[in-house]
Amino acid sequence: MDVHAEICRAIDQYKEKAVSLSHQIHEKPEPKFQEHFAAGLLGGAARELGLPVETAVGGLATAFRAEFGNGSGPTVAILAEYDALPNGHSCGHNLIACAALSAVVGLKNGAKNLPGKIVFLGTPAEEGGGGKIILLDKGVLKGVDAAMMAHPFHGEACTMPALATRHLHLSFQGKASHAAAAPWDGASALSAVIQTFQSVDAARLHIRDGARIHGIIINGGQAVNIIPEKTECQFLVRGRTSKYTLEIADRVLRCAEAAALATGTRMSHEVIGGYKNMINNRAMALHYAALSESLGVPSPEAAPDSPSGSTDMGDVSHVMPAIHPIFQVAKRGEGSCHEDAFVKYTDSEYGYAAMIRVAKALAMTAYDLLANPALLKAAKDEFAQRQES
Ligand SMILES: [Zn+2]
């Protein structure tokens, strides 16, 4: 039997366990940086495979790392996410986690004499915490030649044109006064927030296609009969490249500064975080797509302008060749990531079947990157020629 078939057989043999673990994570949704149950479960499963598991890597309590294989060959990392949103596993990270674990099982139990090393990396807080950025900064991905993960979605694609983000928190300091008896003594921080949103809306015409600016008012004032003294809002700015996203964020800040000037208030801001855009490594992605097709499900390249979210895997893709294919667990119109309606699909028979299929395509891609120097070279050459963005 060839190695691919052995890998797939090992994954099939583990299916019941993988589904049970994924279901348990789904039943106990944990927000960013609080994923103690999920990290413990996945680390425990890796230990059961005989892997030495390092916990709290990079100083993150809910991160873990396990590696195995032949140290003289190249290294491929398979990344697991397992954080949830306030409405549960509406992004299906329980499926990501156990697709990654199943891929690791396939490589550990199915591929004898692995021609390189596999790193199984548990990465916390994709939803707004940027766990992968912290792990990159702490050197946890040092020495890794290529990285991969897969994410559930309402469609299938071997690439994901994830947008770069910049998350801004704006505060306006005005002057309180009696709203009826002495409004002329006050300076409204609420007017400043409203003016900011209006100026941002006016700026949209001049912003390139594919970008997004969305914001919320967190604090709109203290009492209806007092001129609002302090207000706060947040904007999430997204663009196709990190560089352009910074330009848009700068424009939002100028709108806020202008609003402060016009209303006689003071504006201060804080950058809460941001992700880089995803550079999809086509050499790896097309290889993954061919393997997915061999399993009966085509995984085409996504159109570069197709609507997409953002991910801290984007930051990984700026450091090494990486892929982030998406796999279908719901039909378009039935529910999309982050919606309440998506939660049931991430704990469904259909979702788990997709998770196992994707685990096989990931595992075979990882094996081929280790076993086929021309494939890894193509991925690395493409990465070296990337447009820095
Ligand atoms: Zn997600």
pLDDT digits (tens, 9 = 90+) for 178-205: 999 999 999 999 999 999 999 999 999 9
Q: What pLDDT is stored for residue 337 in this prediction?
A: 86
Tens digits of residue pLDDT in 65-86:
999 999 899 999 999 999 999 9
CA of 127 to the centre of ligand 1 (A): 7
Tens digits of residue pLDDT in 336-388:
888 898 999 999 999 999 999 999 999 999 999 999 999 999 999 999 998 76
CA of 212 to the centre of ligand 1 (A): 18
CA of 216 to the centre of ligand 1 (A): 21
Q: At what angle do helices 349-371 and 3-27 cross, to 10 degrees?
A: 140
Residue 47 — very low, low, confident or very high, per pLDDT cuts 50/70/90? very high
What are the residues whose beta carbon lies below 5 Å from ligand 1 (ion)?
A: 91
CA of 44 to the centre of ligand 1 (A): 23
64 is written with which tokens?
């873990």
Q: What pLDDT is stored for residue 389 in this prediction?
A: 59
CA of 12 to the centre of ligand 1 (A): 25
147 is written with which tokens?
């990285």
CA separation for the pair 110, 291 (Å, rounded)? 16
Residues paired with 312 in a beta bridge: none
CA of 54 to the centre of ligand 1 (A): 24
Q: What pLDDT is stored for residue 388 in this prediction?
A: 62
Residue 1 — very low, low, confident or very high, per pLDDT cuts 50/70/90? low
Residue 331 — very low, low, confident or very high, per pLDDT cuts 50/70/90? confident
CA of 221 to the centre of ligand 1 (A): 33
CA of 199 to the centre of ligand 1 (A): 31
CA separation for the pair 198, 149 (Å, rounded)? 39
CA separation for the pair 149, 248 (Å, rounded)? 29
DSSP annotation string for 178-211: BTTT-GGG-B-HHHHHHHHHHHHHHHGGGSPTT-
CA of 161 to the centre of ligand 1 (A): 14
Residue 73 burial (CB count, 10 A): 17
**How is residue 33 annotated by DSSP?**
T
Cα 47 to its chain centre, rounded Å, is 26
CA of 93 to the centre of ligand 1 (A): 6
CA of 92 to the centre of ligand 1 (A): 7
Nearest CA-CA partner of 158 in 340, 6, 264, 288: 288
Residue 258 burial (CB count, 10 A): 15
CA of 275 to the centre of ligand 1 (A): 13
* Radius of gyration, alpha carbons of the chain: 23
CA of 227 to the centre of ligand 1 (A): 41
CA of 3 to the centre of ligand 1 (A): 31
Residue 376 burial (CB count, 10 A): 22
Q: Which strands sit side by side in the sheet containing 164-173, from one edge to the other?
A: 212-219, 230-239, 164-173, 266-273
CA separation for the pair 285, 282 (Å, rounded)? 5
CA of 147 to the centre of ligand 1 (A): 17
Model-level pTM? 0.94
CA separation for the pair 29, 90 (Å, rounded)? 10
CA of 171 to the centre of ligand 1 (A): 29
* φ/ψ (deg, to 5) at 134: -65, -45
Residue 286 — very low, low, confident or very high, per pLDDT cuts 50/70/90? very high
CA separation for the pair 315, 133 (Å, rounded)? 6
Q: What pLDDT is stored for residue 308 in this prediction?
A: 85
